[in-house]
Amino acid sequence: MLRPSRRRPEFRQKYGIHDAPDGMLDWAWADERLAVSRNYWIGTADEDGRPRVIPVWGVWIDDSVVFGTNARSRKAQNLDRDPRVVVHLESGDEAVILEGDVDTIEATEEIADAFSAKYDWRPDPGADDSTRWYRLRPKLAQAWLETDYPKTATRFDF
């Protein structure tokens, strides 16, 4: 498992984020939520800079979010042109947000097994289909519990 450094996010003082480390979340907390999340919201930018966000199925494997999409989709076009991405989990109450660049990868048996276990759907790694696979190894992450936002707001740097 990754062992990122952690600190407080750099938000305006009016947000009331604590300076002390008391209450900051551990990476294990975020890691657990990344593993069990059903959908991952993928944020990209269109060619003109317009933001685009869409949920996808994905797996948290080898400290990375792995997901696939049709190679002709807007998402794939955006990621092929600009690999910078934001990934947000479904919950706003237990927020985990990742940022970084995606790599294009080949589907493997390990990835297929992970999708099968999670979604009861197995991609075929040997198929020459139109799916393009991506992996995000985060550069930074932010996480918090909405019920105690100022105290739990945590930034992780990788």
pTM of the model: 0.93
Query: Strands, DSSP E only, in 12-153?
Result: 39-45, 51-61, 64-70, 84-89, 94-105, 131-136, 140-145
Residue 12 has what pLDDT? Answer: 63
Residues 6+ apart with CB under 8 A from 16: 150
Residue 157 has what pLDDT? Answer: 97
pLDDT tens profile 99-137: 999 999 999 999 999 999 999 999 999 887 899 999 999
CATH number of the domain that residue 78 is part of: 2.30.110.10
- CA distances to 14, 26, 56, 72, 80 from 76, rounded to whole Å, are 38, 32, 12, 6, 6
The partner residues of 69 in beta bridges, in order of sequence, read 132
Range of the domain at 140: 5-157
Residue 15 has what pLDDT? Answer: 67
DSSP 34: H
Q: How many domains does the chain have?
A: 1
pLDDT tens profile 37-82: 999 999 999 999 999 999 999 999 999 999 999 999 999 999 999 9
